A and B are shown apart, each in its own frame.
Chain A
Amino acid sequence: MLNNDGWLDSNDEAHFKAIYLATMPVLFKIAIRIAGNEEAAEDLCHDCLIKMREKAMRFPTANDAKYWLIRVVKNASLNYAKRKTRERRAYERALKEDHRKSDSGETELLKGDAVKRVQDALERLPENLRAVVQLKEYGELNYKEIGRVLGITEGNVKVRVFRAREQLAKMIGEDDVYLP
């Protein structure tokens, strides 16, 4: 199955499927948390996998493919989320819609109040802290891998995860943290 040099070739059907199976669950989790909607998340992941194929990318291991894909999916999802926010604001301004109304549309996939509060809190975190938490909890990467994806040191990842959790706990409220 492997090429003579043992690399994964994204244009090889079997290799592509292997990369897909190894990365898609994680990619989807990251995309849906950032993009906030299931269909868009799937599309974003597909876009990135197709991009990988079009570029005829080759990776030494499935993990290398994962790091690359996570980085691309994360950025694509962030762009999507930004565009969506911009568009929503533009509509709101044009139609003078109530802000809370459009918010409630997004919440239907969030089950439970505490979960929603956590997600809101996550939104309010500064970008550098949020990215680390998203990669940790949804990307299921360890500190070393997160450092590789974001281009920071392992120690820096550790500190950021800690600070992010501190801030999240404060935002959610100390009492609610212990609920689940």
Chain B
Amino acid sequence: MSTCPDQDLYSAYVDGEVPSPWKEKLEAHASKCPTCRRAVERFASVSALVRSGVPELSGDQLEASFARLSARAVPASASPRAARQLPDWFRASISVPLPALAAVFLAAVIVPSLIVARASSSRDAYLAATPAPIIQAVLADEESFRTSAVYSPDLPEVTAAALTSANRSIFRVVDFANQYARTASDESAEVIVIKLPRLARFGLDDGHAAEADGVINAVNWNEAAGPGR
């Protein structure tokens, strides 16, 4: 009794889903074992019961149904919905008036190129329109910015010393603030308030976050700590 194959094998057997060497073995066993024979019969009759009583379409019905379907289904090329589909639209030749084409060309090619040209020339224009001493200052500033090492709080002392001896100044946060601060600042600024753009909410204080839009303020310590302190 315990050597009987699993019942689910007989279910698959009824469906003809057991491949050849095993199929014969199942049949041989079922012919000797009444329990297993009963299982096969049970699965087969459940299957037959489920199948029975299903109305089937005869050949005539099939043709009649196709006629009804054809009446409903206008071929794709003739139906209004298909006419709007991409392939037909794509293949159709389109006539575009010349002025419209010129306008598109103007908007798509000339205007962007003008903007790009203006952007690249803005620096030269700025230098040309600015008095000489200021230009010197700006250029010197740029130079120092380029040669300075970027400040890092964990910069090893040895590295910092090496950089200074190589004539490269350490670029500190204060320097950064002095260059880019929106409010006026002087060399003595000791406190720098950097308001980050509101990319994420860092705290629960919504009122504060609302006004922060990426402003750097260099504040003189004495002024900032004034009366409130």
Interface, chain A (partner B; CB < 8 A): 11, 13, 17, 20-21, 24-25, 28-29, 32-33, 38, 42, 45-46, 49-50, 53-54, 56, 109-112, 114-115, 118-119, 122, 133, 136-138, 142-143, 158-159, 161-162, 165-166, 168-169, 172, 174, 177-180
B43 at the interface (CB under 8 A from A): yes
Which residue of B51, B57, B85 is within 8 Å of A24 (Cβ)? B57
Q: Which A residue's beta carbon lies closest to that of B10? A: A162
Decide yes or no: A177 and B52 within 8 Å by CB, A46-B73, A54-B82, A162-B12 being known contacts.
Answer: no
Least distance between B101 CB and chain A CB atoms (Å): 32
A-B contact number at CB 8 A: 115
Q: Which A residue's beta carbon lies closest to that of B8? A: A162
Q: CA separation between A20 and B70, bound complex, in Å? A: 11
Q: CA separation between A118 and B54, bound complex, in Å? A: 12
CB pair B76 A162 closer than 8 Å: no
Residues of A with C-beta under 8 A to B81: 54
Residue from the set B16, B41, B50 with the largest chain A CB neighbour count within 10 Å: B50
User: Which of B61-69, B103-111, B129-137, B189-197 contacts its partner?
Assistant: B61-69
CB pair B12 A143 closer than 8 Å: yes
Q: Which B residue's beta carbon lies closest to that of A11? A: B76
Residues of A with C-beta under 8 A to B48: 180
Residues of A with C-beta under 8 A to B72: 46, 50
Which residue of A24, A38, A49, A115 is within 8 Å of B49 (Cβ)? A115
Majority-rule SS of A interface residues: helix
Q: CA separation between A7 and B210, bound complex, in Å? A: 60
Decide yes or no: A178 and B41 within 8 Å by CB, A115-B53, A118-B49 being known contacts.
Answer: yes
Q: CA separation between A32 and B51, bound complex, in Å? A: 12
CB pair A49 B73 closer than 8 Å: yes
CB pair A32 B73 closer than 8 Å: no
CB pair B57 A177 closer than 8 Å: no
9 nearest CB pairs, A to B: A162-B8, A162-B11, A115-B53, A118-B49, A50-B73, A137-B50, A46-B69, A165-B46, A11-B76
B42 at the interface (CB under 8 A from A): yes
CB pair B50 A133 closer than 8 Å: yes
Q: CA separation between A115 and B51, bound complex, in Å? A: 9
